[in-house]
Amino acid sequence: MVRASKHHLAQIGESYFEHLGAALGFSFALAKASIACGVHALIPGLCTSTASRSVAELQAKLVMRAAQHRSEGDRFRTDA
């Protein structure tokens, strides 16, 4: 498990604490979206777009982070 964690952090170019902060941020955003879905299930007139908006924002962040990690990885390539 430690080896897999180190490999993952190396792949994305983040320290443990950078990854911790980012992953917890996504976790809290998903929890908020989940609560909004629960509220919407009980009272359909509330939170009509909160969850879908949250998921779209998270997807955009993931795409941006992936692009950033790819471009940072290109700077360190030695085979180019």
The whole-number pLDDT of residue 74 equals 57
- Domain ranges (residues) in the chain: 2-75
* pLDDT digit string, tens, across residues 23-69: 999 999 999 999 999 999 999 999 999 989 999 999 999 999 888 87
CB under 8 A, 24+ apart: contacts of 20-25: 22/65
The whole-number pLDDT of residue 39 equals 96
The whole-number pLDDT of residue 78 equals 42
Question: What is the value of pTM for the model shown?
Answer: 0.73
One-character DSSP codes across the chain: -HHHHHHHHHHHT--HHHHHHHHHHHHHHHHHHHHHHHHHHHSTTSSSSHHHHHHHHHHHHHHHHHHHHHHHHHHT-S--
